[in-house]
Structures are given as structure tokens and as C-alpha cells.
Structure 1
Amino acid sequence: MAESVPAVTTRRSGFRWVVMGLIFIVYTLAAADRANIGIVLPFLKAEFQMTNTEAGAVVSLFFIGYSVAQIPAGFLVRRFGVRTVFPFFMILTSIFTGLLGTASSAFHLKLNRLALGLAEAPLPVAMLSTMNRWFPPAEKGTAVGIFLAAAKFGPVLVPPLGALIIASLGWSYIFYICAAPGLLFAVLWYVLVANDPSQSRFTTEAEVLHIQAKTPPAAVAGRGPAKPTRDLGWLDRLIRARRVRPIATASETFRSANIWGLAIGYLLMTGIINVILAWLPTYLTTVKKLSIMNVGFVAAAPFLGAVLGNLLGGVFSDRMVDKRRKPTIIITALSSVFMMYALVYAPNDPIALAALLFVTGLLLNLGYSSFTVYPAGLTTKEAYPLAVSVVNTGGQAGGALLPFVTGLILDSYNWDVVFLFLAASSLVALAVISLVVEPIDGETGPGQQRA
């Protein structure tokens, strides 16, 4: 008779969700550090006598530094681990955020923005690598949805608080106030977050097995094995669902057409989001003629929608379409074409405009979390940091390129042309994303192919 395997009797802890809560807080802080430039930009343009193109360069320099440092950040995380890399660069991020408030010239401002981008670049790579190790496949979409909701929660807070700070203290204090909390949370990360859950003194054996997917949740509870990936028929054919051989090396990562296709799509969609992040307060001030307090209220609306969109998108991709990531990406890219066109005819009333921007933010971010969880289905856990760094490099290159192009457009044309340019960018993203495959587990679909 076969020897029975003893059940794991240790109660499964939920410390991975404590880690997720810490990730949400620190990424909200990091997102606020990058988002504060938007509410301040009209005042910086006036103080330093900058054209729209120069203002676009101030925005873009952060993302140039951020993009350039993504792949080196992936190697750093792989070599030294998240416990060391994250706190070090979180402290640097806080320092360079504070220094922005001391800028005495446009050159000084640009230099600090570039340095901030270089300092902040390893943070999302470290956090995504943490989630990839701390969450089982069935929870990764939800976790990344929460993570990217944090990226949009910072921009929800910054416009109204920034407007209040500018009105009472002046623009430089926004940077000082945003800088301080990061120092505290860098220390908390070092104390609480291990490189791997198996190394943490806060996790139980049952939770580690659950994370490693060696003991499915249903089996731990005595309800039998977890269900295999199910066939979704026409949807799988539409999204090109395939079983793939996981990428395991750096050379395989750089040769993967799927990784590069995703990076191009992420470039365009991140660029659109960053145009809204950086330029929306200027649009509301110069075109819609809103007061600074109304600007703070309306500029927060798309990112409030983005928080909801990221959360809904993560849950939908995990539970409704069985861990498939492309469906929400396709919905986001397609709907954003129409929402960017709708902004050409945006109303002047602050409440109606905020409602339109809320829906825009929700749809634009419904599939945004899937861009960074998608590589986990293509790679081993060891290869994931580099793969997601490549995708993030594309995203942040878009974050640099599209805001700068927006400045060029505004110096020669108007905001209608900007919104049509963004609609066209979303359409191109949709076309590129349609070409990549959807990696799936189990016996569904054709035989394995190279990722």
C-alpha cells in the first residue's frame, strides 16, 4: 500500500498580505514623489520662464533616468535581493525628492528630476520581484492589481493636498513633505520583508507551501486538489493562448518576441498615463481656467478611477478568466482609443469633467496591472526580475517620450491634437499586444512552444 503523505497541520499565516500592505504604502509614497511635478508644473513654468517643450523635458528626464536604470535594477535585485536593494534606493528617492524643493534654476530642476528617476527605478522591480516570490499564481493578478492601485493612489492624494500646500506654503514644500515618510518605511521594509518567504520569521510552514503552490489552498482545507486551467474556447483563440516553455536565462529573455511585444505595448500605455499625470493640471489651468483648488479636485479624478480599475482588473484576470492577462489589456487599449477621443469634447463644468476623467482612468487602468504580472507566466522566478525590467524599460521609455512629445505638440498646435495623438498611440498598442501569446498552465491548448 502506498505510503500516505502527512497533512500540513500548521495554521496558515497571512503574513504575505502584511507584506502586500507595506508594498501598497511605500509605492503610494513613491508614486506621490513622481506625481507631485504635475500640480507644481504651471508654477515652475512661470518661475523659471519655461516653454511647453522645456516643461515636457522636466517631466521626461525623470522617466529617462527611470527607464535607463530598469535593466541594471533587475540585475541588482537578482544579485543582492530585495531586502537590501529596496531600502537603499527608497532612501535615495526621498533625498532627491527633497532636493527638488531647493531648485534655483531650470537646470537644477532637470538635474534633480533625472537623479530621482535613477534612484526610484529599482523600487518597482524590487516590489514586483517580492510579489512574484510571496504570492502563488492564483493570487498574483490580485496582488499586482493592488500594487498598481498604489501607483495611482499617490496621484489621487497629491493634487488636492498639493493645491492646499501651494496655497498656504508655496510649491517647494510639496517636495519636502513628500520626501520625509520614505525614510521611515525604508527601515520598516528592511525589518519585515525577507528575500523569500521561506527565510521569513513571520511565516508558517503552511503559508510557505501555499505560496510555493506545493499545497493548493483547497488541499490545505481538506477539500481536494485545485482545478486545472480550464479551456475558454473562443476567448483562448482570440488571445492566442499557448502552453510555453518558461524562460530561464538572460539570453532567452532578450530573445523573446513576447517580452518585447509587451514592452512596446506598455511603452505606449504608460506614456498615455504619464501625459495625464504630468500635464493634466496644466490643461485644467490654461484651457478649462479652473482655480487651483478645483484643479486639485479634478486632477485627482482619473487616478481615483485608476485605483478602482487596477483592483477590478486584477481580480477579473485572476478569477473570471482563470489567470489570463491579455483580455484586460485588450479592453484597456481598445477603450482608451475612444476615451482619448472623448476628451477632445470634454465639458467645462468641473463635476462633469471629473466624471469623464474618472471613467477614463478606470478603463485606462483595467488592464494595466496585467502588463507586469504577464511575464510571470513566461518565466521562472529567477528570470522574472530581468524580464519585468525589460517590460518596465519599455513602459518608462514611453513615460519619457509621450510627455515630451506633448510639449512639442502644445508649442505648435493645441490640446485637441494631443488627445488625438494619444488615441492613435492606444490603437497602435492594441495592434502590437494582439500579436503576443497568452501563456497558460495545464493541458489546455497546443503543445509547448518557446516563450
Structure 2
Amino acid sequence: MNAKYKVGAVVIFCYLVAWLDRMAISMAVPSMMQDLGFSATTVGTIMSAFFAGYALFQMPGGMLSDKIGPHKVITGALAWWSLFTAFTGMVSSLSAMLVIRFLFGVGEGVFPGPVWKMIGNWFSKKDRATANSVILMTVALGPALTPLIVAPILAPYGWRAVFYILGALGVVCVLLSWRYISNTPYECKGISKSEIEQFEAEKAIDAKNADKAMEKATLGQLMASPAIWILFVSVLALTITIYGYLTWLPAYLSKARGMSLVKVGVMASVPFFFATIGMGLSGWLSDKYFRNNRKLLVIVSELLGAFALYKFFNVVDMGEAQIYQCVAAFFLYMALGSIWSLPVLMIPEHLMGSGTGFVNTGGQLGGFIAPMAVGFMIDYFGGDYVAGFNVVIGSAVLSALIVAIFVKDKKKEVVMPTIAAE
């Protein structure tokens, strides 16, 4: 296996554990509400506390990885958030829970920037969107696996045990990161000479297609670019949809649809296997068929996902609802994967950590807004979950409109022949 794929495999596993850690609380919500007496609004606030820390430390994590390299930042972030995952199972008061979830969010917030820095350091632009979408498959696979992993622990041992076990799993990630991840191919022990030569040849091709002004840009110039702010807002709107759906789906199935814990686990899990497929395909489709019109894939995916999500919340038959939920998950995560092909290709490598961290700050601001907004709407309309989910449907449509109107198509790329390694 090529060294870059080994590094990618470790990053994928760590990202998957990150999603298990952050999604576990969604499965634990019904038990926590009963055990601690929290209302829907209170639970929404607890969920949003995570996103406050997560959003605030996106850009600092990226800037730190630009300065000292992604390896140490990734390893440190893994250790930090694993500790606070375990702490979540120890607290009972609202104030302590808010602090712990905020600090947990800080650790996970530092993580994405250096991951995108790794993608920039290890992969050329011809397959960077594909690499990005494969790693981001964990964004869908994590929610798919979470109910299947958490439900068997939750039923016999309670919600606190879930966080202790996941915290221990984080220790495994720390060890893997320290052993196998390196900042660049040149620092990787055991990498072959032919892989280095292939890497250098692909980087030379990238240089021929590069936006010369952007490649020399400072962080201040990047932040002054309208393009980076358009990406910020469009990702924010889409992630209101993603996180509003993710964080409240188990509670909706339990409270509004009256499902048992076991059925909730299955119903909440199956659509995200379809989402994993959609996410994985997004980068390949973007690189292969939408290279000169990447925004089209984003727009179509967002609108189809929003329509299917609307149907899911408004049909009575559960079989039909399950079909619509799978379709919605497939297209919404295809939209998420394809929208992230835009910044990883636009932002220059020397600013990849900082720039992607800034765009992802918008995404996590959406994650901060979504749980509270949905929880507020549910309480305001007397427990009507459909009213709450109208927020997430409208946000997907808004993101599609922003991309359609403001994102400019890139000039046609010069596709250079791939130079085969000896």
C-alpha cells in the first residue's frame, strides 16, 4: 500500500471515532432527559455548547497546523477530546454539562484544519476532491454506526457507560496518530522512492494550473476575498440542515413516531449507509465529470436532498418514510462532499489549514445554531417536531441558492497527463 493511503486510513479511523464521540449524545438524549429532567430546549443548548467550542477553534487549529505541521496538532486534539468524552459520563448538573461539552468541542474543533492540511500536503489537485470525500465518508458512516454501537451499550449499562467506552477508544486513536501520521511524504518513514517521484511529478502539474495570485496570497488577502466568504455562508446554511437533522433524528423517531430504542437504532442508522455512498461518490463525480462546473453537483444534490427530507417528515407510512429518508441522506451528504471540493481546490497549500478552518467555522456555526433552533421550534409549537425540521429543509434550499448565484465557475483546467511511477 502506498504511504499516502496508509496515512489516509489512520485519518479515516480517527475521524470515524470523532463522529462516534459527537453523535453518541444524540442517542443518549431520551435517557438523559428522563434521568436529569432536561427539556428539549435545554438539550438543544447542551448540544449547541459543543458546537460553540467546535466553531471557535476551527481556524486556530488550522493556523497552528500551518505553523507547526498537522501531525502534532492532530495527535494533541485526539488526546484532548477523548478525555472530555469520558468526562461527559461523569456529570449531572446542567452547568457542568455545558462546560464539558464546550471543552469537548474545543478538542474536536482543532481537528479538521490539520486534516485538510494533510490532504493538501499528501494529495495533488487531480485527486484531492476524491481524497477529501473518502475521508469525509466518516461524516456519514459515523452517524450510521453510532446507533448500532451505542444502543447495545445504552440499554443494559446506561448513557454514562457509553461515554466512558468511547473515551477509551480515543486512546487507540492517539497511539495510531503518533505512530503512523507524518506532516509530508518527505517526513514519512519507509516511503518508496517511486512514490516520492510520483508525488513530485503531480505537484509540478499542479503548478502549471495554479492561480498565481492566489498561490502568493497572504492570510489577510485570502480573508478579504469574496469567494472565501461565499463558501463560508453556503457551508453554514448546508450544515444547519445536516446537524439539525442529525442531532434531533433519534428524539424525533422516539417521541413523534413512538419507536422503541432498538427500532430507533435501526431507523436512524440505515439512511447513513446511503449517505456514506453519496459522500464517497461526490468527490469522484466532482473530479471526473464536474471538473469545470463543480457547483452544479452541489446545487442539484442540495435541492433533491431538501425535497426528500420534506417528504420524510410529511408522510404517514413508515416504509415510505424510510425510503425518503435514505434518499435525503444520500443527496444531502453528496452535497456536503461536493461543496467541500470547492475550498480544498481554491485555497493555496500554504494557507490550507487556516483557510479550510475558516470555512469550517461557518459550517460549525451552522451546527451551533441548528440544535437550538430546532429545539426552540419544537417547544414553541407544542412538541411539533415537523415544525422544527422545516428550519433544516429551508436551509438546504438557501445554500443551493447562494451557490447558484454567487459561486463563479472556474476557467477550464489544463489536464496534464499523469506521469507513471517507475
Q: Normalized against structure 2, the TM-score is what?
A: 0.92
TM-superposed deviation, 1:438: 3.4
Verify the 8 A CA contact 2:306 2:332 in the aligned structure 1: no
SS of the residue corresponding to residue 154 of structure 1 reads helix
- Residue 165 and residue 18 in structure 1: after superposition, are their counterparts in 2 closer, same or farther (change >3 A)? same
Q: Supply the distance in 1 between the matched residues of 2:203 and 2:140 (Cα, whole angstroms).
A: 34
Q: What fraction of aligned residue pairs are identical, expressed as a percent?
A: 26
Tell me whether 319-328 or 90-99 shows the greater mean CA deviation: 319-328
Verify the 8 A CA contact 1:64 1:400 in the aligned structure 2: yes
* Residue 26 of structure 1, aligned match among 4, 14, 21: 14
SS of the residue corresponding to residue 429 of structure 1 reads helix
For 1:405, the equivalent position in structure 2 comes to 373
Q: Supply the distance in 2 between the matched residues of 1:301 and 1:367 (Cα, whole angstroms).
A: 19
* Residue 250 of structure 1, aligned match among 219, 226, 244: 219
* Residue 50 of structure 1, aligned match among 25, 38, 61: 38
* 2:347 pairs with 1:376: no
Verify the 8 A CA contact 1:298 1:353 in the aligned structure 2: no
Verify the 8 A CA contact 1:152 1:307 in the aligned structure 2: yes
Tell me whether 433-442 or 164-173 shows the greater mean CA deviation: 433-442
- Residue 343 and residue 442 in structure 1: after superposition, are their counterparts in 2 closer, same or farther (change >3 A)? closer
Q: Supply the distance in 1 between the matched residues of 2:410 and 2:41 (Cα, whole angstroms).
A: 41
* Residue 251 of structure 2, aligned match among 268, 282, 286: 282
Tell me whether 260-269 or 289-298 shows the greater mean CA deviation: 260-269
Specify the code of the residue in structure 2 equivalent to 1:422: V
Q: Supply the distance in 2 between the matched residues of 1:28 and 1:344 (Cα, whole angstroms).
A: 28
For 2:322, the equivalent position in structure 1 comes to 354
For 2:116, the equivalent position in structure 1 comes to 128
RMSD over equivalenced CA pairs, Å: 2.2
For 2:418, the equivalent position in structure 1 comes to none
For 1:308, the equivalent position in structure 2 comes to 277
Specify the code of the residue in structure 1 equivalent to 2:288: R
TM-superposed deviation, 1:420: 2.4
Q: Supply the distance in 1 between the matched residues of 2:230 and 2:256 (Cα, whole angstroms).
A: 36
* Residue 69 of structure 2, aligned match among 71, 81, 100: 81
For 1:366, the equivalent position in structure 2 comes to 334
Specify the code of the residue in structure 2 equivalent to 1:19: V
Verify the 8 A CA contact 1:150 1:307 in the aligned structure 2: yes
Q: Supply the distance in 2 between the matched residues of 1:102 and 1:345 (Cα, whole angstroms).
A: 39
Deviations for 1:223-257, whole angstroms, at most 9, x for unmatched residues?
Answer: xx99x99xxxxxxxxxxxx9784252111121111
Runs of 4+ in 1 over 6 A off after TM superposition: none
* 2:157 pairs with 1:169: yes
* 2:308 pairs with 1:339: yes
Deviations for 1:5-50, whole angstroms, at most 9, x for unmatched residues?
Answer: xxxxxxxx61111111111111000010100011001111122222
Deviations for 1:376-424, whole angstroms, at most 9, x for unmatched residues?
Answer: 3222210111110111000000001011100110011122222322222
For 1:220, the equivalent position in structure 2 comes to none
SS of the residue corresponding to residue 438 of structure 1 reads coil
* 2:394 pairs with 1:424: yes
1:50-69 aligned within 5 A: 50-69=38-57
SS of the residue corresponding to residue 246 of structure 1 reads helix
Deviations for 1:346-386, whole angstroms, at most 9, x for unmatched residues?
Answer: 3443x443332111110001121233332232222101111
Specify the code of the residue in structure 2 equivalent to 1:166: L
Where does the alignment leave 5 or more consecutive residues of structure 2 unmatched? 416-422
* Residue 115 of structure 1, aligned match among 83, 103, 106: 103
Verify the 8 A CA contact 1:257 1:436 in the aligned structure 2: no
For 2:4, the equivalent position in structure 1 comes to 16
Q: Supply the distance in 2 between the matched residues of 1:14 and 1:36 (Cα, whole angstroms).
A: 33
TM-superposed deviation, 1:440: 4.8
Deviations for 1:130-175, whole angstroms, at most 9, x for unmatched residues?
Answer: 1111111111111111111112211111112211111111111111
Higher Cα radius of gyration:
1
Q: Supply the distance in 2 between the matched residues of 1:74 and 1:344 (Cα, whole angstroms).
A: 37
For 1:437, the equivalent position in structure 2 comes to 408
Verify the 8 A CA contact 1:35 1:155 in the aligned structure 2: yes
Verify the 8 A CA contact 2:312 2:321 in the aligned structure 1: no
Verify the 8 A CA contact 1:82 1:195 in the aligned structure 2: yes
Tell me whether 183-192 or 287-296 shows the greater mean CA deviation: 183-192
Q: Normalized against structure 1, the TM-score is what?
A: 0.86
For 2:296, the equivalent position in structure 1 comes to 327
Verify the 8 A CA contact 1:245 1:378 in the aligned structure 2: no
Verify the 8 A CA contact 1:306 1:363 in the aligned structure 2: yes
Specify the code of the residue in structure 2 equivalent to 1:310: M
Deviations for 1:92-116, whole angstroms, at most 9, x for unmatched residues?
Answer: 1110001111112222222111010
